[in-house]
Amino acid sequence: MRPARKRSLVDEVRQARNVSIRKACDALRVDRSLYHYKGKRGEQADLKLRIKQICETRVSYGYRRGHVLLRREGLDLNPKRTYRLYREMGLHLRNKVPKRRVKAKLRDDRTTATMTNQVWAMDFAARPFGSFTTSWRRGESCAS
């Protein structure tokens, strides 16, 4: 659980039970130093804005290529920081869906058999030394 969530839980317990910070932290087993901690890191709004601009102009770039562009602009930046900001802004690239072949688009969908001898399928069985044999099967459907 993240520290911000723990702080909010302590606040909820304090309001609901009307107890002190010490008692709420003890009940939730949260260190009081975590509750009182103030982060030193700034908001980094200018860096987030620049990352967003890079993502809008170069859609296929991930955080690594964006990081390289930021370094070329003169920003002294850690790749982990770039990745964290990408994640916070929800700029992850989606996995590409492979394109289906044209033959698969033109092919009719398999029909289910409603009676015997309606659907036939042919299997090719590879034998050693390159000789192929075929066997005809009859059944309720082609998928078996």
- pLDDT of 55 reads 86
Distance CA(140)–CA(133), nearest Å, equals 23
Phi and psi torsions of 136, nearest 5°: -100, 135
What is the average pLDDT across 18-32? 94
pTM for the full predicted model: 0.47
Q: Does 36 have pLDDT greater than 80?
A: yes
Of 11 and 94, the structure prediction assigns the larger pLDDT to 11
State the average pLDDT for the chain: 80
- The tens digit of pLDDT for each residue in 39-74 reads 888 878 889 999 999 888 888 888 889 999 999 999
SS3 49: helix
- Give residue 144's pLDDT: 46
| Residue 125 pLDDT exceeds 70 | no
Tokens of 132: 């192929």
pLDDT of residue 127: 61
DSSP strands (E only) in the chain:
119-126, 132-139
Average pLDDT over residues 83-97: 80
32/25 Cα distance (integer angstroms): 6
Instruction: Count other Cβ atoms within 10 Å, centred on residue 20.
Output: 10
Terminal CA-CA length for the chain: 47
Helices (H), ranges, 43-94: 45-57, 63-72, 79-89
Checking if the pLDDT of 141 tops 60, the result is: no
| Number of helices followed by number of strands (H, E) in the chain | 7, 2
pLDDT at 19: 94
Q: In this predicted structure, what is the pLDDT of residue 21?
A: 94
Q: Does the structure show a pLDDT above 90 at 136? A: no
